[in-house]
């Protein structure tokens, strides 16, 4: 890998005008809590700094939690709800079970926020802020988070299973699933750059490293050392970094990996496999600043995915359960 291909992302703040929150009909504002909870953003930042310092992987986990929340009926913190007698929630859906983590970090932040500003700040807004800070603390861009989301009163395991793209997805599937959320192919390719941080379980990339042909042989052999061909054993949970070169830094190395045939997931390599996103991958590979700007813009757009207008909501006091 060329030493000059990967650069740390600039600490740019991407500022956006207030945006209408889609179908929910509510207007989000970056100043929503200025009077009601003025220390909110500093509290979230401090807690995330501590969490990431303790375990850098947690930054990727919180970012993924936000994505998995927003793609299922909007950014409403439904992913945080435990199962109840009346609904089966999202935590144990296929894409989330034994995979999504960081719930305890959000619970810790929520407790601190409740102590300072009782019954004021939604869990959904806390997750949105924590995701932004996770990226920035690991060297990525920052952006203005629009606030004013509310928390859902229910969750749906079936919706999570249906709405989250899997690691074996084709490029056409990725474009379609992001498009269903109002996100463009460019948004999809930029947001996929989140895979520059974090780790994945063997079960999610086994098929790629043993069966795909558009994979670097040395990279496949490296991953096979800890991810056995035989499924069903302890090896299923063996972890590997999603970015082989700088796993704990939010940078544009992910796109260099794709250009080298070193995407960990089949869905990753689909972005650079002779298809419509090849040109954009090359742009992001060469220009960290363009990637940073596009990623921040796409995060704002994803963060504005709202539940339908008739969805009952509240400000949860405990993110795990309704009031």
Which sequence positions are flagged as catalytic?
68
* Residue 177 to residue 41: CA distance in whole angstroms: 31
Residue 136 CA to residue 18 CA, distance in Å, equals: 21
Say how far apart CA 125 and CA 66 lie, in whole Å. 10
Q: Contact at 8 Å (CB) between 248 and 197?
A: yes
Alpha-helical runs (H) found in 142-287:
157-163, 171-179, 185-191, 202-211, 217-224, 253-259, 266-269, 278-286
Name the β-bridge partners of 13: 142
**Nearest residue to 141 (alpha-carbon basis) of 150, 131, 149, 151:** 131
Distance (Å) of CA 67 to CA 32, 190, 221: 22, 13, 30
Question: Please, which residues have CB within 8 angstroms of residue 55's CB and are 6 or more apart in sequence?
Answer: none
182-209 as b/e: b if 16+ CB within 10 A = ebebebbbbbbbbbbbbbbbbbbbbebb
Determine how β-strand 13-14 pairs with β-strand 142-143.
parallel
Phi first, then psi, for residue 132 (nearest 5°) are -60, -45
- Sign of the Cα torsion 254, 13, 148, 297 reads negative
What is the number of residues in the chain?
Answer: 323
- The count of C-alpha atoms lying within 13 angstroms of the C-alpha of 320, restricted to the half-sphere facing its C-beta, is 11
């Amino acid at each position: 890998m060329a030493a000059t291909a990967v650069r740390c992302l600039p600490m740019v703040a991407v500022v956006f005008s207030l945006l209408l929150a889609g179908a929910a009909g509510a207007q989000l504002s970056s100043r929503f809590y200025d009077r009601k909870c003025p220390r909110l953003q500093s509290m979230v930042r401090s807690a995330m700094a501590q969490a990431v310092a303790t375990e850098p992987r947690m930054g990727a986990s919180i970012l993924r939690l936000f994505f998995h929340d927003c793609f299922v009926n909007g950014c409403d913190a439904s992913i945080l709800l435990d199962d109840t007698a009346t609904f089966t929630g999202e935590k144990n859906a296929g894409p989330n079970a034994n995979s999504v983590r960081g719930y305890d970090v959000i619970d810790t932040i929520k407790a601190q926020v409740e102590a300072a500003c009782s019954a004021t700040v939604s869990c959904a807004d806390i997750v949105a802020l924590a995701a932004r800070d996770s990226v920035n603390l690991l060297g990525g861009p920052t952006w203005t988070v629009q606030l004013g989301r509310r928390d859902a009163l229910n969750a749906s395991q079936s919706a999570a299973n249906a709405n989250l793209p899997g690691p074996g997805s084709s490029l056409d599937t990725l474009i379609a699933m992001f498009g269903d959320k109002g996100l463009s192919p460019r948004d999809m390719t930029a947001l996929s750059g989140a895979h520059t941080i974090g780790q994945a379980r063997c079960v999610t990339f086994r098929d790629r490293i043993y069966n795909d042909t558009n994979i670097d042989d040395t990279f496949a052999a490296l991953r096979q050392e800890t991810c056995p061909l035989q499924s069903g054993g302890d090896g299923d949970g063996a972890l590997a970094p999603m970015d082989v070169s700088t796993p704990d830094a939010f940078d544009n190395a992910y796109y260099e990996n794709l250009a080298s045939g070193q995407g960990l997931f089949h869905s990753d390599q689909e972005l650079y496999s002779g298809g419509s996103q090849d040109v954009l991958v090359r742009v992001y590979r060469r220009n960290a600043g363009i990637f940073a700007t596009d990623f921040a813009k796409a995060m704002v757009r994803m963060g504005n995915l709202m539940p339908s207008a008739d969805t009952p909501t509240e400000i949860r006091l405990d993110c795990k359960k309704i009031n």
